[in-house]
Structure 1
Amino acid sequence: MTISDSLRDTRILTHGSVSIPAVGFGTLIPDPVVTKQATKAALEAGFRHLDCAERYRNEAAVGDAIQDAFKAGTLRRQDLFVTTKLWNTNHRPERVKPAFDASRRRLGLDDIDCYIIHTPFAFQPGDDQDPRDASGQVIYDSGVTLVETWQALERLVDEGHCKSIGLSDITLEKLREIVAVARIRPAMVQVEAHPYLPERELLDFCRTHGIVLQAFAALGHAMEPRVLEDPVITAIARRVHKTPAQVALAWAVQRGTAFLTTSTNPGRIRENLDISALPEDAMRQMRDEITTNVRFNAVVETGVPGFISRTG
């Protein structure tokens, strides 16, 4: 990875020579109309990595914004990196390809740059994305293993239309299991990571195996304790004349990770792309002086996303 003064165009190369833009726009936005507007604003600002998911229920809106940019001549397919995800209810191998093809249709794309298993937890297969029993407990599917689902993704790569594959919401222990048996190794793993959850051990493992670690909730998702109010980050922001958000995002890229950020505000979208390299002493400060450690999303424990409502 080459770090320039401006970090917005940084790309990270995987073991499989897949080049992934470090700066990504996440599309976890409940309203489809707002999704299309925000995606359009992100593409106009210069984002070239879009992160989508079947579970977000808005792939068609993202696809509309992409197609509008293609038609306007402001974007070429080869300049855009699109990720989408397989939901928990589709882990059985026979359900993987139909789910993948449905995502392609909704996005209006022939090829997906990276297809990711949304969580390592298999839910009861069916149309209900959030299957629950009479007592409100998630109904898991014990009839399929994560390795079997991974092998179904490998076949997607063999068949074309899927350029690379990855995992999300995964622990280091589970990732080790997949890497040990994978015929096609993960190109990317997507996990919660930010200055309050640096995931250093996982990042070291990913570096060793040529896997891109992509951080979601890279700004802490505005939850308490607020990452962007940390005194170390705010002091650095004043010193380098950037916002605390820009400091946290620059830190993410400089430490060798990709990140996702989501906003529906065009000004904030542009701000999140306007990141510059931090001085080395600032990077050391963030490593050594930030001691808060907190995970905001318990999805790694249950497979139930903490940032998506059950009905949304």
Structure 2
Amino acid sequence: MTTPDTLRNTRIGLNHGSVLMPAAGFGTLIPDPLVTKEATKAALGTGFRHFDCAERYRNEAAVGEAMQEVFKAGIVRREDVFVTTKLWNTNHRPERVKTAFDGSRRRLGVDHIDCYIIHTPFAFKPGDEQDPRDEQGRVIYDSGVTLLETWRALERLVDDGHARSIGLSDITLEKLREIVSAARIKPSVVQVESHPYLPEWELLDFCRGHGIVLQAFAAVGHAMEPNLLADPVITAIAKRVHKTPAQVALAWAIQRGTAFLTTSTKPWRIQENFDISALPEDAMQEIRDRITTHVRFNSVVKTGVPGFIPRVAAN
């Protein structure tokens, strides 16, 4: 009798409340709203039940439309879908947090957000311009608010009952320690770039010790160079287990105890990214021991500007 592989359906308990977060997440950083909507519906049809959104992506309404259509058709229930969205840098001042949060809820068409995340630890000049720059093209930061003050505002969202959990993104271990030590409600999720070229073992160990889920974005390298999916260790394992290199990298992410985000607009690729199976233990050890390349593709942890988001004016 064959036991079905359940790795793709893994759900991880969060440290606040009784929320279970699907480990396999679909990222919605897709520039075109119509394409976003179709990709979201394809992901729901494939089996993804965790959707990562952001105010900054400017497409929450498209994600919301896709989800509502699927919910109304009775294909998927709202209670089975975990919705994450993120507070952008220009809304770090506590008096702006609730308004930003409610705006995301309205655009997504949901009553509650399962996890609300501070997009980066950097506060930008408050206002409607998401990418405020000076005459020399330099980011205008806001020195009038601390990350802890912003965190306190997120804690109040949990108190109000509309945010079931809260978290941080693009944060260093040093900054995370500061928040964890001072927080009344601990972060449930920390979303950072992570993949076999950037395993973040020290950060992962800290998160494990505090019941925090580390969620990896760019989990298959985001098509950057050097190409993770062409790595000889990954490709050899893929051949051996009859999976694609992307499926190997994503299975590795869940098996080592993290969650992941992956994005595609192609239905066949969305299916591929969900169709993962457990790797043998020797393959897991090979990835840890034999991959020596170390690279960070996104410099957001130094600037607060996500490198994967094109700088375009809002329509």
Instruction: Note whether the superposition's TM-score is higher than 0.5.
Output: yes
Task: Calculate the TM-score normalised by the size of structure 1.
Answer: 0.98
2:145 & 2:307 partners in 1: Cα distance? Answer: 24
User: What amino acid sits opposite 1:174 in the alignment?
Assistant: K
Shift in Å, 1:6: 3.1
Which deviations, in whole Å up to 9, do the C-alpha atoms of 1:145-174 show, x marking residues without a partner?
000000000000001111000000000000
The match for 2:7 is 7
2:15 & 2:66 partners in 1: Cα distance? Answer: 31
The match for 2:215 is 214
User: What amino acid sits opposite 1:227 in the alignment?
Assistant: L
The match for 2:103 is 102
User: What amino acid sits opposite 2:149 in the alignment?
Assistant: E
1:249 & 1:108 partners in 2: Cα distance? Answer: 30
Which deviations, in whole Å up to 9, do the C-alpha atoms of 1:230-270 show, x marking residues without a partner?
00000000000000000000000000000000000000000
1:70 & 1:246 partners in 2: Cα distance? Answer: 28
User: What amino acid sits opposite 1:9 in the alignment?
Assistant: N
User: 1:71-220, aligned counterparts within 5 Å?
Assistant: 71-220=72-221
Which deviations, in whole Å up to 9, do the C-alpha atoms of 1:107-129 show, x marking residues without a partner?
00000000000000000000000
Which deviations, in whole Å up to 9, do the C-alpha atoms of 1:74-104 show, x marking residues without a partner?
0111100000000000000000000000000
Given that residues 6 and 274 in structure 1 are in contact (C-alpha distance below 8 angstroms), is that contact kept between their aligned partners in structure 2? no
Task: Calculate the TM-score normalised by the size of structure 2.
Answer: 0.97
Given that residues 86 and 116 in structure 1 are in contact (C-alpha distance below 8 angstroms), is that contact kept between their aligned partners in structure 2? yes
Shift in Å, 1:18: 2.6
Shift in Å, 1:13: 1.3
The match for 1:52 is 53
Asked if residue 254 in structure 1 is aligned to residue 255 in structure 2, the reply is yes
User: 1:219-298, aligned counterparts within 5 Å?
Assistant: 219-298=220-299
1:311 & 1:162 partners in 2: Cα distance? Answer: 30
User: 1:15-26, aligned counterparts within 5 Å?
Assistant: 15-16=15-16, 17-26=18-27
SS in structure 1 opposite 2:86?
strand
2:273 & 2:12 partners in 1: Cα distance? Answer: 18
User: What amino acid sits opposite 1:221 in the alignment?
Assistant: H
Shift in Å, 1:5: 3.1
Given that residues 85 and 117 in structure 1 are in contact (C-alpha distance below 8 angstroms), is that contact kept between their aligned partners in structure 2? yes
1:66 & 1:20 partners in 2: Cα distance? Answer: 17
Given that residues 18 and 187 in structure 1 are in contact (C-alpha distance below 8 angstroms), is that contact kept between their aligned partners in structure 2? no
2:276 & 2:217 partners in 1: Cα distance? Answer: 17
User: What amino acid sits opposite 1:121 in the alignment?
Assistant: F
1:310 & 1:84 partners in 2: Cα distance? Answer: 20
1:23 & 1:311 partners in 2: Cα distance? Answer: 29
User: What amino acid sits opposite 2:8 in the alignment?
Assistant: R
SS in structure 2 opposite 1:167?
strand
SS in structure 1 opposite 2:8?
coil
Q: How many residues align?
A: 309
User: What amino acid sits opposite 1:92 in the alignment?
Assistant: R
SS in structure 1 opposite 2:113?
coil
1:14 & 1:101 partners in 2: Cα distance? Answer: 23
1:69 & 1:161 partners in 2: Cα distance? Answer: 22
Shift in Å, 1:12: 1.1
Shift in Å, 1:19: 1.2
The match for 1:68 is 69
1:226 & 1:18 partners in 2: Cα distance? Answer: 35
1:156 & 1:92 partners in 2: Cα distance? Answer: 14
SS in structure 1 opposite 2:12?
strand
Given that residues 191 and 214 in structure 1 are in contact (C-alpha distance below 8 angstroms), is that contact kept between their aligned partners in structure 2? yes
2:20 & 2:219 partners in 1: Cα distance? Answer: 20
Given that residues 104 and 110 in structure 1 are in contact (C-alpha distance below 8 angstroms), is that contact kept between their aligned partners in structure 2? yes
Given that residues 8 and 274 in structure 1 are in contact (C-alpha distance below 8 angstroms), is that contact kept between their aligned partners in structure 2? yes
User: What amino acid sits opposite 2:55 in the alignment?
Assistant: E
SS in structure 2 opposite 1:260?
strand
Shift in Å, 1:310: 1.2
Q: Percent of aligned pairs with the same residue?
A: 79
SS in structure 2 opposite 1:294?
coil
